[in-house]
Structure 1
Amino acid sequence: MGILYGSYRKALIDELSSVSDIALTTDSLPSPCRVHFVCITAHYYDKEFGCISKVISFRRFIGRSFAVRIRHFIRSQLKKLKISNKISSITTDNG
């Protein structure tokens, strides 16, 4: 599983390197047991102006300080994917 994930992430980084502007959406899914799931999706246009949407990260959070940890999570994912300077907007579901 680790090899497959690593190859997918490298392909994603390569694909996003050719994109100039990316809009992000984040969705948070809470559960009654103080467990939250956060999904980050990137939306952009390819060279033929086709709209592409891809999940770029997904994570489980347990416990408190959710807002601080999600902010750190989003920033770290943008840095790892080398797209921090390409983000044109971020839309959340108010989670």
Structure 2
Amino acid sequence: MYGRVKQTLASELQGLDSRICFTSDLWTSNQNLGYICLTAHYVDANFALHKKIISFKALKYPHSGLAIEEAITRCMTEYGIKEKMFTITLDNASNNNTACDLLQESAKSDLLFGGQHLRVRCCAHILNLLVQYGMTIADATLEMIRDLIRHINFSPRRIQSFNEIAERESFSKGWFGS
């Protein structure tokens, strides 16, 4: 059944008048096994957008740029669609930079604009990195606030003093969660 479905999908992809955009990601399972997934994104003759996982395979260590490029190229070759590649979206890991450089070099004659626009950086990964960085800045501030609250809540006398100051400065009691 798998072989039949794969052949049907390969025929569909090969018959497209348009190019195919790809996304790929790597991750390590909780058993420390590496995997790579390759997804094809395309628009058919009826202008319907499709997203199909065309490869989900184990990837042996090391997850070098060469290993990634070989896995992607092997999959595209199996499906007979390497010349239909338009873009590939990957996260910002350095091994993905190398993989894209190798893909661009090996398929340069088949790529639009010589592959200058092959690599699309994953916006979700960039946003995640920005949020993580912002959280490191916020973490220090939040930790100081937590320390202050712990200090105030250490004794009834400190709580009372704090509440008197808060009342004098027109803050409502318990505004900080105590």
* Matched AA of 1:9: K
* Matched AA of 1:36: G
Kindly indicate whether residue 28 of structure 2 is the aligned counterpart of residue 40 of structure 1: no
Unaligned segments of structure 1, at least 5 residues:
none
Match of residue 7 from structure 1: 4
Kindly indicate whether residue 79 of structure 2 is the aligned counterpart of residue 56 of structure 1: no
TM-score, normalising length: structure 2: 0.48
The structure that has the greater radius of gyration is 2
After alignment, is 58-67 or 46-55 more displaced? 58-67
Alignment of 1:16-95 (within 5 A): 16-19=13-16, 20-31=18-29, 34-94=32-92
Q: Which 4+ runs in 1 deviate beyond 6 A?
A: none
> Which is strand-richer, 1 or 2?
1
What is the RMSD of the two structures over their aligned residues, measured on CA atoms? 1.7
Give the distance between the partners of 1:73 and 1:22, measured in 2 at CA.
Answer: 17
Task: Check the 8 A contact 1:34/1:62 in 2, yes or no.
Answer: no
The SS at the match of 1:48 is coil
> Which is helix-richer, 1 or 2?
2
Q: Report the count of equivalent residues.
A: 92
Give the distance between the partners of 2:38 and 2:63, measured in 1 at CA.
Answer: 19
Q: Percent identity between the aligned chains?
A: 32
